[in-house]
Amino acid sequence: MSPAKKVPPIDFTKFEERIGVVFSDKGILRQAFTHRSYINEHRESGLEHNERLEFLGDAILELSITDFLYHKYPEENEGELTSYRAALVNTNTISDAAKLLGMGEFLLLSKGEAKDEGKGRQYILANTFEAVIGALYLDQGYECADDFIKKTLFPRTDEIVEKGLWKDAKSLFQEMAQEYLGITPTYKVIREAGPDHDKQFTIGVYLGKDLVVEGEGKSKQEAEQSAATLGLKAKGWDKVIIK
């Protein structure tokens, strides 16, 4: 049997200092930052990827956020609380929190994944954030994991609720367009590319006859949401607070 390859000497001390937690099991912290692609390139490293930790962390995150919102908004109904939670645990919000903690500095990735700084990296950071929650739970217990979530995500709640960011982008863009311009946006497919199993759609969002921006996605729905998100930024409506 071939000997295990030497694992890169990543020092997680800085990360532990940032979150105020010293892990008893350094191996589980390393696992939280190990992406499947790294294992595929280093099969003899002896490491495990972080997907099981991510699965665990996702459940803990949902429980923590649900408990917080339930007590913070006692008058809100189930539908609105669900929307608030979705906004707090979506990829954009979580990956932004991961970036603020500098998680990207500690990732173990394949050479190919390491070069991708786009949407793929955003998903990896979000998944790693959840994996870290899972690692905190196993190493330190629920209270520690919950405290980490409180510090990193709870402060974003007021802005999300006040600015209406809990609404999906299409609904918010339509609401803004009707309020400020008296126009209902329309969406049109501009381009389709790729084979049937891997389509890429480009969709434009229009206000009247004017094209505002184009959005891309692997489905028409995803491309429309992308166009609406970019449209909110283009019109400066992403900074407007909904009354």
Backbone CA torsion sign across 91, 48, 107, 42: negative
The rounded average pLDDT for each run of 10 residues, N- to C-terminus, in the chain (243 residues) is 54 94 95 91 82 96 96 91 84 90 91 69 90 98 98 90 75 88 95 85 95 90 86 81 44
Is residue 163 classed exposed, middle or buried when 0-12, 13-18 and 19+ CB atoms within 10 A define those classes? middle
Per-residue model confidence (pLDDT) at position 7: 55
Q: Which of 17, 113, 130, 143 is catalytic?
A: 130
Same domain, yes or no, for 106 and 192?
no
Same domain, yes or no, for 31 and 141?
yes
Same domain, yes or no, for 151 and 173?
no
Binding site as annotated, residues for Mg(2+): 54, 127, 130
Same domain, yes or no, for 41 and 153?
yes
Q: Which of 16, 48, 58, 96 is catalytic?
A: 58
Residue type, 107: L
CB atoms within 10 A of CB 200: 14
Asked if 58 is an active-site residue, the reply is yes
**Taking Cα atoms as reference points, which of 12, 35, 233 lies closest to residue 121?**
35
2 found inside a domain: no
Same domain, yes or no, for 212 and 235?
yes
Per-residue model confidence (pLDDT) at position 223: 87
Per-residue model confidence (pLDDT) at position 239: 65
Indicate the number of domains in the chain: 2
**Last residue of some domain: 161, 187, 214?**
161
- Residues pairing with 202 in the sheet: 191, 216
Same domain, yes or no, for 137 and 28?
yes
CA distance 132 to 128: 6
182 found inside a domain: yes
Binding site as annotated, residues: 54, 127, 130
Asked if 159 is an active-site residue, the reply is no
**Last residue of some domain: 161, 186, 210?**
161
**Residue 31 belongs to a domain with what CATH number?**
1.10.1520.10
6 found inside a domain: no
Same domain, yes or no, for 143 and 181?
no
Per-residue model confidence (pLDDT) at position 243: 42
Domain that holds residue 206: 169-239
Residue 113, SS3 per DSSP: helix
Question: How far, CA to CA in Å, does 95 sit from each of 48, 153, 204?
Answer: 22, 11, 26
Enter the pTM of the model. 0.69
Per-residue model confidence (pLDDT) at position 22: 96
1 found inside a domain: no
Q: What is the bridge-based pairing of β-strands 186-193 and 210-217?
A: unpaired
Question: How far, CA to CA in Å, does 188 sit from each of 108, 182, 193, 221?
Answer: 40, 20, 15, 11
**Taking Cα atoms as reference points, which of 62, 57, 68 lies closest to residue 128?**
57
Same domain, yes or no, for 82 and 144?
yes
145 found inside a domain: yes
**Residue 210 belongs to a domain with what CATH number?**
3.30.160.20
